[in-house]
């Protein structure tokens, strides 16, 4: 039996939803943001011909940094530093259905919300399989593993971070990537290139929000499957291999799952499948399914009040040792 909390709730605006334009944010623009390439030279397994970075506006009327990347040649991390860091860090994997990566360049609202709570936030711009990388569907995971190691490599020197307190969060297709990182952090998928690659890629907590989970027909988000698996999208063996609810390791970190029952893009069935698998594997987990909210944060109460979904995630995470 699934344990879930259904809350008629409100949500904070999200700069990382994969299909919706950004909502208004009262952002703290005083927070320091640094953006840098993830790999010291070219990312591994580059395509021929070479791909070029390309971004597009997500909405003609959207904010200047409301952009998405349909092609990524240079994976990046954008670091939002808190005014008063508490030593915790979070890697944020944005969505986009693996057709693009919906992330800006100046630190999105979710990253800033984490930073306002003292958590150093790292937004990941990752590569896309359709650009022809040699690793194919594993190219995004290469970037996510590398990002975790780079964060830890700079802990205590480049940024005020405890390497034992680095979590991952993912939204929509980014939730699929975050879940793969949490469950496959120890799987070697690229050749080490420097000292950072000797460090662990395992997050201490995973927060998965309206995530893509399965590549099987039951609950599938067809675009994500098509973009991730390409010519293998109809192959049952590939579908199973890239379904994050299958073959979870016993040491997968505690995982928090959140969805909306009325999501028209990524069915809440994805979250249910993952929760059931986590529970069966005896991995600490909690799931929240909100009545309304579509593909994004949960909808507000009728009176306009919002529920602090990030604080719910953080409260649960504290029971498992993060961020404190």
Map tokens 């944020």 to a residue: 92
Q: How far apart are CA 92 and CA 151, in angstroms?
A: 12
Q: How far apart are CA 22 and CA 298, in angstroms?
A: 14
* pLDDT interval class at 307 (50, 70, 90): confident
Close Cβ partners of 192 (under 8 Å, ≥ 6 residues apart): 198
Task: Give the pLDDT confidence of 214-253 residue by residue, as tens digits.
Answer: 999 999 999 999 999 999 999 999 999 999 999 999 999 9
Strands in 285-290's sheet, in edge-to-edge order, are 32-37, 76-81, 120-125, 87-93, 161-171, 206-209, 255-260, 285-290
| Residue 152 or residue 32, greater confidence | 152
pLDDT mean across residues, the chain: 92
Q: Which of 179, 154, 153, 156 is nearest to 167 (CA)?
A: 179
Fold exhibited by the domain 32-318: Rossmann fold (3.40.50)
What is the pLDDT, as a whole number, of residue 25?
31
Task: Give the pLDDT confidence of 5-38 residue by residue, as tens digits.
Answer: 333 233 323 333 333 332 333 345 568 799 999 9
């Amino acid at each position: 039996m699934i344990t879930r909390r259904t809350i008629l709730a409100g949500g904070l605006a999200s700069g990382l939803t994969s299909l919706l334009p950004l909502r208004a944010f009262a952002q703290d623009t005083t927070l320091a943001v640094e953006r840098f390439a993830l790999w010291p030279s070219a990312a591994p397994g580059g395509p021929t011909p070479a791909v070029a970075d390309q971004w597009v506006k997500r909405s003609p009327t959207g904010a200047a940094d409301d952009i998405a990347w349909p092609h990524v040649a240079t994976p990046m991390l954008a670091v939002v530093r808190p005014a008063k860091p508490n030593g915790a860090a979070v890697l944020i994997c944005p969505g986009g259905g693996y057709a693009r990566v919906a992330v800006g360049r100046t630190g999105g609202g979710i990253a800033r919300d984490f930073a306002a709570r003292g958590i150093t936030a790292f937004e990941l711009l990752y590569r896309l399989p359709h650009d022809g990388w040699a690793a194919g569907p594993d190219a995004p995971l290469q970037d996510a593993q590398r990002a975790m190691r780079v964060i830890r490599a700079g802990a205590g020197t480049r940024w005020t971070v405890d390497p034992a307190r680095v979590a991952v969060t993912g939204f929509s297709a980014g939730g699929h990537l975050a879940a793969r990182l949490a469950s496959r952090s120890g799987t070697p998928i690229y050749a080490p290139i420097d000292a950072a690659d000797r460090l662990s890629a395992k997050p201490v907590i995973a927060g998965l929000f309206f995530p893509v989970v399965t590549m099987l027909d039951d609950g599938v988000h067809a675009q994500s499957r098509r973009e991730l698996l390409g010519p293998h999208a109809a192959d049952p063996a590939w579908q199973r291999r890239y379904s994050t609810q299958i073959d979870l390791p016993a040491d997968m970190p505690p995982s928090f799952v959140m969805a909306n029952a009325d999501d028209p893009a990524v069915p809440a069935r994805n979250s249910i499948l993952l929760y059931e698998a986590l529970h069966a594997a005896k991995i600490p987990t909690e799931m929240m399914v909100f009545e309304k909210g579509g593909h994004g944060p949960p909808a507000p109460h009728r009176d306009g009040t919002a529920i602090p979904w990030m604080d719910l995630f953080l409260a649960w995470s504290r029971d498992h040792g993060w961020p404190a």
